[in-house]
């Protein structure tokens, strides 16, 4: 649990915590859709899909802004060691990775719900 919180903070709390809230929302919507399989879930499926896509784009936005900020620091500092550069690139990819994971969870939920409905 502490490692998860460390990764959330390391990836930038302004992007990672909203993404975590989006993940929780998607899980709630998928659970709600599973409980109401007999009803028409087309609105839920559309909402899950849209929110999942938003999480993906949100992660990419976090990465791009992180890279821009890192490049600004590099420009001011001049030469930097490769290890620091690689560490910064790793951190910039955390929000993107989390966004992709959330997107995949939403798509897997949609696929499963669609399959179970038929």
pTM of the predicted model, to two decimals? 0.89
Which residue in the block uniquely carries the two structure tokens 């600004």? 72
Specify the higher pLDDT residue, 2 or 98. Answer: 98
Domain count, the chain: 1
Environment class of 7 (CB within 10 Å of its CB; exposed 0-12, middle 13-18, buried 19+): middle
- By residue range, what is the domain housing residue 86? 2-117
Which residue, among 111, 95, 113, 114, has the nearest Cα to 22 in the 3D structure? 95
pLDDT digits (tens, 9 = 90+) for 54-92: 999 999 999 998 888 888 888 888 888 888 788 878 888
> In this predicted structure, what is the pLDDT of residue 76?
87
């Amino acid at each position: 649990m502490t490692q998860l919180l460390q990764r959330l903070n390391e990836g930038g709390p302004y992007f990672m915590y909203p993404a975590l809230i989006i993940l929780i929302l998607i899980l709630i919507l998928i659970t709600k859709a599973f409980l109401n399989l007999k009803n028409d879930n087309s609105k839920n499926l559309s909402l899950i899909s849209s929110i999942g896509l938003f999480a993906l784009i949100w992660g990419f936005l976090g990465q791009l802004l992180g890279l821009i900020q890192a490049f600004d620091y590099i420009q001011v500092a001049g030469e930097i060691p490769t290890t620091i550069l690689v560490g910064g690139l790793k951190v910039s990819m955390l929000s993107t990775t989390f966004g992709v994971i959330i997107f995949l969870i939403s798509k897997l939920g949609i696929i499963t719900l669609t399959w179970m409905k038929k």
